[in-house]
Structure 1
Amino acid sequence: MQNTNALITGGGSVKAKLQKLGGFLAGMVIPNIGAFIAWGLITAFFIPTGWIPNEHLAKLVGPMITYLLPILIGYTGGKLVYDVRGGVVGAIATAGIIIGSSIPMFLGAMLMGPLGGYVIKKFDELVEGKIPAGFEMLVNNFSAGILGGLLAIIAFLFIEPVVNGISVGLGAAAQWVTNKGLLPLIAIFIEPGKILFLNNAINHGILAPLGVAEVKEFGKSIFFLLETNPGPGLGVLLAYWFFGKGDAKQSAPGAIIIHFFGGIHEIYFPYVLMNPLLLLAVIGGGMAADATFVLTKAGLVATPSPGSIFAEIAMAPKGGLLPVLAGITVGAIVSFLIASVIVKRASEESMSAESMTFARSIVSGLKAQSKGQKVEEVNPSVQKIEGMPKMIVFACDAGMGSSAMGETILKKKLKEAGLDIVVKHSAVNQIPKEADVVFTQENLAERASQVVPHAKIVTVKNFLDNTVYDEFVKNLKK
């Protein structure tokens, strides 16, 4: 198992950079997923081939995909770099790259949004302390307007043609791969990439822009299914449930609920890492699912996020639900059959609580790397809490996946201990001001303390680590 750790986490400077890029891309896209879903639902219902075609309401589709969604991404990217001021300049710069383009400029927004935030941040650092008293508002407003306007002009004249060419090239390449029947082979890269936490770079950086462009043309896209498909992971968890031993077998049913219905795919990563041969199962399941999607012409109208079966169903177009379910089912069956052989032959020791804990620590390390955090810096830290807190908040980057799981675990432990405390989860930048205690990861602790400076910050290595919560509840009871 130690060799597995070295294999997965070691020697990967390129991988670490890709993980960090993926985390940043996710930070731009995930907060705006609701807007993508709104656009997807409007598309699914009101376009001529939709559930209830309506020519008047269908007019919303074009402007939303052309202007609203890219500008939201550009604003969010700028805000990530330099708060609201960076977001405003990022949105202005993004407007320059989307106006005049014949395709949805998601790649352009991911470029210009952060660039706008960076430029205004550097300007403010340059003039800090040099603005005469009383002229601060004037300089702030005009600097944002002038720099944003210049970036928009540069983007419109010079950057848009380049990005447009790249986007068209990627779309043509993707179409060629699909037409040649080679698309199922992409699972060889996607399934291991997910476990290495490259899923955000793959999904939000590559597949989602391709998918959106296809939806605009065809009303659905297979690219939304390739990374979000919960079938392969479900097959592995089912194999552990039926044929596993010890802690792995006992915990598999709960993991199935979180993965398949909750859409939190990272819950199954430790089960694969306990026996790396199971990569063959998820790859085989992914290839079988993708082949089924191709044969049945399956597609979705928008990104299902998180990758829950409910989200997959909700994003299916009119008449397109059965192909989607067929691909997910085939992927789960093939993954289960391959995983069953591997799990049956595995030793009981490899599925013990110690092996599960070790595998989870690898996943935690990979996730830390994906956010640019040094693994050795992450240490559980439960501080002494003065008095009984009224609100506890779990905070992660997006406020959706791992923080929600941590919230569920601690709620259960507090209830068992007879403690009535409000527990919530949120994105680290949106922690409620009423929070008394915040659970977060080491690399987010400083940001959390800036949002709620009065709160106690508890850093955790792994949101699924029960020992941290047991110690915390024990301290509360004292």
Structure 2
Amino acid sequence: MSGGTGIKLKVQKFGNALSSMILPNIGAFLAWGLITALFIPTGWLPNKALAELVGPTVTYLLPILIGYTGGKIVYGHRGGLVGAIATSGVIIGANIPMFLGAMIMGPLGGYLIKKFDKIIEGKIKTGFEMLVDNFSAGILGALLSIGAFLGVSPVVDLVSAGLASGVEWLVHAGLLPLASLFIEPGKVLFLNNAINHGVLTPIGIEQARQYGKSVLFLLEANPGPGMGVLLAYCFFGKGNAKKTAPGAAIIHFFGGIHEIYFPYILMKPFLFVATILGGMSGVFTLVALKGGLVGPASPGSILAVLAVTPKSFSGFAANIADVLVSLTVSFVISSLILKTDKAGNEDLDEATRKMESMKGKQSRISSVLTEAQSFDPKAIKKIIFACDAGMGSSAMGASLLRKKVKAAGLAIDVTNIAVSSIPSDAQIVVTQSELTPRARDKAPNAYHVSVDNFLSSPAYDLLINQLKNSVKVEVEDHSNREEAFEDEGVLRDENIFISRSFASKEEVIRFAGQALVDGGYVLPSYIDGMIERDKEMSTYMGNEIAIPHGTENVKKEVLASGVVIIQIPDGVDFDGNKVRLVFGIAGKNNGHLALLSKIAVVCAEIGNVEKLVQAKSAQDIKAVINGAIAQNA
């Protein structure tokens, strides 16, 4: 992995961690945004009494929710409880809304109580469990709250002061467009009020007294950069982010509640680039056209901006151009970032995923030859869909499967959550293939289904069929999951041999073994293991097929799972049985069992065997195999 790619992945993981704390609480952000837009003095329906809700909501409720969610992600409700207590300290110790502090203290509280419980596990006498649980959570939460009050709050205040100083220096140095380098990231870290009212407004007021207007009033209040991000999500976002973006855009642009778009950037931190360049373009336009406001635009609504624009055509033209230019630049860059994001790959990748789905790559539920635990489908009460934040692709996938479950008349609940919140006692878990290792760590005893596309996967119908017909669902042996069999590279065209003839079974077995050696799947000594295996027990399987493979003793000679197919139209004798198809197998660890399962599915019907024998090319062989697997999926 290149250094640039590694850094990108780390930034994406950081953004995912932040978004997993904020996204579940979007409803609370929307509620606060609506109350603010409606009832503050410059709002749509000014109401002094109801406006009192605004301050406590943003100061206390939202950070507490974020802290609780962060702790819960790490260690369930108990982690959320300690995370919330710890967050209270950082809230009370600061003079600004402490979202950043909540994102630190919430997960930290969950992590520390989890470690504590691990240390005392099995050491508490019966009857004292609840006492220890309550006191440990209370004591640790109190200590963290005190530490946050004394340590974290001053640090965040220091960061705020540093950003404010940077903006002030740029103003005095005449490098005003560069102020967006500080303003836009500072806003998303919820330091917008400190930047706007702590630095820009006082200086802007002084300029307005001298010149009748000031550009500083529009640096932070400009709704253009954030609007560009939200519009990009409207067109190119996914899942819940796309669904909520239009409403957030209205609140942001007309209500002036900029905080509403911050979580959308935290989901994908590379969007910082879009808002920074959008802000810089707007400031350059504003300065070039000599725009500015006669007073602060608070909140940063387009309506508030127009209300304090100088009453002249040039004034309105300059300020509107500032907003439109910054919006356009931010929208274009945000769209490129969202369109090229890994979650929405190029058309070639999408076609590849569809092809793999048609091949039944994810149809491993059907394997009845895999060494595994099993459980009765009748006992299954819930299927869990999981994605990174639990609100996007998993919500769509859960909706699809929920309809299929209902149509099948199954009394099974289908729900979607974040992968970090999967309960340890989950029964069936569906995730994207990239997240399956994390899902397995959370629920090692569950049956895990990996899909590449939540909206279209043959695994859904196969799973419904297994459950509906009360066929036992096989849970894979995860002890060797790193070596789990995959289709890529296992069946290549050059490993399919058409219209061959052999004098004996040993001759064809040695031919198959040498083909595996040539393909890089095994070492040469594996061939003798194949011969020995057939001597110990015939590898003839019925229906005119044989599946020679190595003994247990030569497993160490296997380099990778692979298969060769040899078509013998005239047949060869295997212990008195005519064999016209030979499948040479090499399985890394238990990978050969998955291979045997697929072959069994195809060759269980003699009609499929006959088609394979009559095939004229490697492509025809693969078409028959894939068609048979898809039909049985």
Shorter-chain TM-score category? 0.5 to 0.7
Distance (Å, rounded) in 1 between the aligned partners of 2:121 and 2:102? 28
Whether 1:43 aligns to 2:36 is: yes
Match of 1:95 among 77, 88, 98: 88
Per the TM alignment, residue 155 of structure 1 is displaced from its structure 2 partner at its CA by 1.6
SS of the equivalent of 2:229 reads: coil
Corresponding residue for residue 177 of structure 2: 181
* 1:267-416 alignment, distance < 5 Å: 287=277, 291-292=281-282, 295=286, 319=304, 326=324, 330-331=328-329, 354=348, 356-357=350-351, 380=362, 382-384=364-366, 394-407=385-398
* 1:123-162 alignment, distance < 5 Å: 123-162=116-155
Per the TM alignment, residue 103 of structure 1 is displaced from its structure 2 partner at its CA by 0.8
SS of the equivalent of 2:430 reads: strand
Verify the 8 A CA contact 2:166 2:182 in the aligned structure 1. Answer: no
SS of the equivalent of 1:54 reads: coil
Distance (Å, rounded) in 1 between the aligned partners of 2:127 and 2:241? 56
Structure-2 change in CA distance of 1:284 and 1:36 (3 Å): closer
Match of 1:461 among 452, 464, 474: 452
Cα deviation code 1:289-334 (max 9, x no counterpart)? 87359859999999xxxxxxxxxxxx96755699699468735996
Structure 1: 5+ residue stretches without partners: 1-5, 191-201, 238-254, 265-281, 303-314, 339-350, 362-378
Cα deviation code 1:334-367 (max 9, x no counterpart)? 67999xxxxxxxxxxxx99535446999xxxxxx
Corresponding residue for residue 249 of structure 1: none
TM score, norm. by length of structure 2? 0.47
Select the structure with the greater relative contact order (CA < 8 A; seq sep ≥ 6).
Answer: 1
Per the TM alignment, residue 132 of structure 1 is displaced from its structure 2 partner at its CA by 2.3
Match of 1:120 among 106, 113, 133: 113
SS of the equivalent of 1:182 reads: helix
Corresponding residue for residue 58 of structure 1: 51
SS of the equivalent of 1:103 reads: coil
Verify the 8 A CA contact 2:430 2:449 in the aligned structure 1. Answer: yes
Structure-2 change in CA distance of 1:33 and 1:12 (3 Å): same
Cα deviation code 1:419-441 (max 9, x no counterpart)? 68897644457789xx9864313
Structure-2 change in CA distance of 1:333 and 1:107 (3 Å): closer
Cα deviation code 1:372-417 (max 9, x no counterpart)? xxxxxxx8455239879998653323222222344567689x69xx
Greater helix fraction, Structure 1 or Structure 2: 1
Structure 2: 5+ residue stretches without partners: 202-216, 247-271, 307-318, 337-344, 356-360, 368-375, 469-631
Verify the 8 A CA contact 2:278 2:327 in the aligned structure 1. Answer: no
Corresponding residue for residue 250 of structure 1: none
Structure-2 change in CA distance of 1:151 and 1:419 (3 Å): closer
Corresponding residue for residue 75 of structure 1: 68
Structure-2 change in CA distance of 1:132 and 1:456 (3 Å): closer
Distance (Å, rounded) in 2 between the aligned partners of 1:257 and 1:325? 28
Distance (Å, rounded) in 1 between the aligned partners of 2:331 and 2:64? 41
Structure-2 change in CA distance of 1:12 and 1:420 (3 Å): same
Distance (Å, rounded) in 2 between the aligned partners of 1:65 and 1:332? 27
Per the TM alignment, residue 133 of structure 1 is displaced from its structure 2 partner at its CA by 2.3
Distance (Å, rounded) in 1 between the aligned partners of 2:297 and 2:110? 33
Distance (Å, rounded) in 2 between the aligned partners of 1:258 and 1:139? 40
SS of the equivalent of 1:95 reads: helix
Counterpart residue type for residue 354 of structure 1: L
Distance (Å, rounded) in 1 between the aligned partners of 2:116 and 2:180? 47
Corresponding residue for residue 209 of structure 2: none
Cα deviation code 1:82-141 (max 9, x no counterpart)? 211111111111111111311111111111111211222222222222222222222211
Match of 2:188 among 181, 194, 207: 207
Structure-2 change in CA distance of 1:52 and 1:285 (3 Å): closer
Counterpart residue type for residue 10 of structure 2: K
Verify the 8 A CA contact 2:21 2:103 in the aligned structure 1. Answer: yes
Verify the 8 A CA contact 2:233 2:245 in the aligned structure 1. Answer: no
Counterpart residue type for residue 66 of structure 2: I
Structure-2 change in CA distance of 1:232 and 1:36 (3 Å): closer
Greater strand fraction, Structure 1 or Structure 2: 2
Cα deviation code 1:198-234 (max 9, x no counterpart)? xxxx8xx972523476699899855894486255688
Per the TM alignment, residue 465 of structure 1 is displaced from its structure 2 partner at its CA by 5.7
SS of the equivalent of 1:87 reads: helix
Corresponding residue for residue 485 of structure 2: none
Whether 1:105 aligns to 2:98 is: yes
* 1:430-449 alignment, distance < 5 Å: 438-441=429-432, 442-446=436-440, 449=443
Structure-2 change in CA distance of 1:94 and 1:334 (3 Å): closer
Verify the 8 A CA contact 1:74 1:114 in the aligned structure 2. Answer: yes
Distance (Å, rounded) in 2 between the aligned partners of 1:395 and 1:471? 19
Whether 1:28 aligns to 2:10 is: no
Distance (Å, rounded) in 2 between the aligned partners of 1:466 and 1:48? 52
Structure-2 change in CA distance of 1:143 and 1:186 (3 Å): closer
Structure-2 change in CA distance of 1:176 and 1:42 (3 Å): farther
Counterpart residue type for residue 92 of structure 1: I
Corresponding residue for residue 601 of structure 2: none
Verify the 8 A CA contact 2:226 2:327 in the aligned structure 1. Answer: no
Distance (Å, rounded) in 1 between the aligned partners of 2:113 and 2:335? 55
Verify the 8 A CA contact 2:73 2:420 in the aligned structure 1. Answer: no
- State the identity %: 43
Counterpart residue type for residue 383 of structure 1: I
SS of the equivalent of 2:365 reads: coil
Distance (Å, rounded) in 2 between the aligned partners of 1:468 and 1:232? 32
Q: RMSD between aligned alpha carbons?
A: 5.5
Alignment coverage as a number of residue pairs: 376
Verify the 8 A CA contact 1:214 1:221 in the aligned structure 2. Answer: no
Structure-2 change in CA distance of 1:35 and 1:147 (3 Å): same
Distance (Å, rounded) in 1 between the aligned partners of 2:366 and 2:193? 49
Distance (Å, rounded) in 2 between the aligned partners of 1:117 and 1:258? 26
Distance (Å, rounded) in 2 between the aligned partners of 1:232 and 1:456? 37
Q: Larger Cα Rg: Structure 1 or Structure 2?
A: 2
Verify the 8 A CA contact 2:42 2:298 in the aligned structure 1. Answer: no
